[in-house]
Structure 1
Amino acid sequence: MADTLKAIDSNLVTTGTPVDGGCAWTSFADSPTLPTSATTKMDAAAGFESLGEVSENGFTLGRSVSSTDHKGWHGSVVLTSIDSETNTVKVEFVEINRPAVAKLRYGADAVKAGADGSVSQIDVKAYKGKAVPLVFDELESCGFLRRTVVKKAVVTDFDDVPHQRGSLLVYGMTFTVNEPSDGSAPITVYRAKPVAA
């Protein structure tokens, strides 16, 4: 397939901004049906719950590899082999009284919701580390919806939550991405022009 893009095209440069409404989603179901495009509405996706607003930092995808340098007799590197790769997601949730957010931090069985739907009780127990999917929607400056689907991720680091007068309570977490059991890519990014309402 021929490359039809110009050598330089400023239309391919973008910033990421949150979409109207929810931008982050997860599911606590054992085998959730993951989105396979950027055209479906996440608020209509079966089994997925909104994680509400995130901090002004948005979310960060990290990727690191460990490698081994193999040297020849003269001491120069003749081959570098990749031993392993780790993908991470860093995000800070600000709606800490949303049950889905509290469940991510404390576990689904540790959180109870009140009649109004917000958190009424949290029993802080040892973290069990269940893998969950994460979906993030953002709007590119060119008008495309960019949907990042992380198929399985486990919280492996919790930020401290300072309780200071006048400061926002934030649940910051770092997730380590796991390989899906079906052998597919652990993270998929979809792009599409939003469908007019």
Structure 2
Amino acid sequence: MADTSGKTVNKANVSLGRSKATGLLWWAPSGTELPTDATTALPDAYRTPGYTSEDGVTNSVDTDTTSVNDMNGTQVLNEITSYSETFQLSLLETNADAMKLRYGTDAVTGTDALKIRHKMPKGESLVLVLELLLTGNRVKRIVIPDAVLTEIGDTQYDSGDAIVYDLTFTANPSPLIDGDTSREYIATASTTSTKPSES
């Protein structure tokens, strides 16, 4: 059959973004083996902080450009001179893994009975993986090898709303993926689970 991609519209490629039932966000210590496709199960080192809010995840890109005009005012050069990428989401669960993302892995001790130290963040680098379900039985995996928490939202406690932990991670360029800040993999959904340990 002839390849007609790029020659016609296809509504099967229009998609909503949903999290997998096993969780949207997974994290591991810096240096953990990176996934290289969308469907292979993650290594056991990866942990999930649990549910994320209905707002999902926002992937933002910020660029600066330099423009050069000639003496007549005609633009002769316009180049991107800086690039940065962030991922923002809100965690809903209060558990050890969520708190380690919020406060730092060395600031949280215990599993059920937690002790959490509030202190200056150290700029700890973590590996983050986002697991998304796309429409049409497809999956997307976003891999961030060098993610650092750079913005923290307010935490509100009241009787009418869930407690949420609003976090923004900056994706730093990583030599592990040829200097990219993140990498995406998209594939048809596999029957193989991507959860590290599923019984």
Same fold (TM over 0.5): yes
Higher RCO (Cα < 8 Å, 6 or more apart): 2
Alignment of 1:28-107 (within 5 A): 28=29, 30-42=30-42, 45-95=43-93, 97-107=94-104
Give the structure 2 partner of residue 16 of structure 1.
17
SS in 2 for 1:26: strand
Q: Which runs of 5+ in 1 are unaligned?
A: none
Give the structure 2 partner of residue 157 of structure 1.
151
Deviation, 1:119, is 5.2
SS in 1 for 2:82: strand
Structure 1 stretches of 4+ moved >6 Å: none
Q: Does the 8 Å contact 1:66/1:84 carry over to 2?
A: yes
Give the structure 1 partner of residue 195 of structure 2.
none
How many equivalent pairs are there? Answer: 189
Give the structure 1 partner of residue 167 of structure 2.
173
Q: TM-score under structure 2 normalisation?
A: 0.88
Deviation, 1:35, is 0.9
Cα distance change of structure 1 residues 56 and 119 upon mapping to structure 2, 3 Å threshold: farther
Within 2, Cα distance between the matches of 1:26 and 1:32? Answer: 9
The sequence identity of aligned pairs, in percent, is 30
SS in 1 for 2:73: coil
Cα distance change of structure 1 residues 186 and 196 upon mapping to structure 2, 3 Å threshold: same
Deviation, 1:184, is 4.0
SS in 2 for 1:165: coil
Cα distance change of structure 1 residues 181 and 196 upon mapping to structure 2, 3 Å threshold: closer
